[in-house]
Amino acid sequence: MLLIPGVFAVSWAAILTRACQAPSTAIAFYRMFFSALLLLPLALTVYRKSFREFELKTLSISLLAGFLLGWHFFFWLDSLNHTSIASSVVLVTTQPVFVAILAAIFLKEKAGIRGTISIVLAIIGTILIAGFDFSLEKEYLWGDTLALLGAVMAGSYLFLGRVVRPQISVFPYIFTVYSVSALTLGVMLLISGDMFLTYRHMDYFYFLLMAIGPTLIGHSLYNYTLKHVKAHKVGVSIVGEPVLASLWAALIFREYPNIGTLTGGAIIIVALVLVFSEKGQ
């Protein structure tokens, strides 16, 4: 049940990103910077002792998860500059496919028959979306590719969370991951030469909203459940994100999904619901 408000919160990320006029790397950086900054007072006081739970292995994995999360936001937010919100969000939510593969290899968490079928269906849906977008304009295909790269990074990040969370409390984990993600994106922003640029007041407001909603509520709830639920099923829970994000895009920006996105998206949603309907964790 905790994943329901998480999905609702994350579904607004694409909308807030599209509303911003700042570069995608700056949006990603400030989103994660504000997330870590808002958690900092708690890290220095109430939860200060919880960081003692880290051992070298769990700390290393958490640092890697933060690094991958930074790249996830870099790829996915940039994809929104090249393709539709619906296509981008649908494709980035294929991350359970990559989570399931990693979990099967390293954690011996078998996806089962339903999981295998869902992976095949998700790939078919992805091909439909990318193929239809390519027939429209090559830039759309580039945006789809970026969204898929974002899905790979997100899937790897969720997988690593599944490895660490049974051993580490949620607060030290999310603070470490969000901080490293912000640092990773900060380096990217510094290299691009945009670190010291200023943006509209409304952009900073959107950055803050993205930190509070999609990250501190959405991603934190995802990370909380990773201790209790298989990684690929936590990823599957975001099945509602493309539906809600597409709805918000249609209502706010009058941006309606094309037939390729609708068809491919429907197949992907069926695939994700299929695997999530399995009994057990």
- Cα–chain center distance at 117: 23
Average the pLDDT over 121-129 and give the result: 73
Task: Mention every residue, 6+ apart, whose C-beta is less than 8 A from residue 39.
Answer: 171, 174, 175, 178, 216
Note whether 89 and 242 are within 8 A (CB).
Answer: yes
Asked whether the predicted pLDDT for residue 144 surpasses 60, the reply is yes
Asked whether the predicted pLDDT for residue 51 surpasses 90, the reply is yes
Average pLDDT over the chain reads 84
Asked whether the predicted pLDDT for residue 281 surpasses 60, the reply is no
Note whether 144 and 91 are within 8 A (CB).
Answer: yes
pLDDT of residue 131: 63
**Model-level pTM?**
0.82
Taking CA atoms, 32 is separated from 83, 113, 165, 191, 277, in Å, by 23, 37, 20, 18, 32
Task: Mention every residue, 6+ apart, whose C-beta is less than 8 A from residue 95.
Answer: 151, 152, 154, 155, 158, 235, 238
235-256, pLDDT tens digit by residue?
A: 656 666 777 777 888 888 887 7
Q: Where are the domains of the chain?
A: 3-276
Asked whether the predicted pLDDT for residue 155 surpasses 90, the reply is no
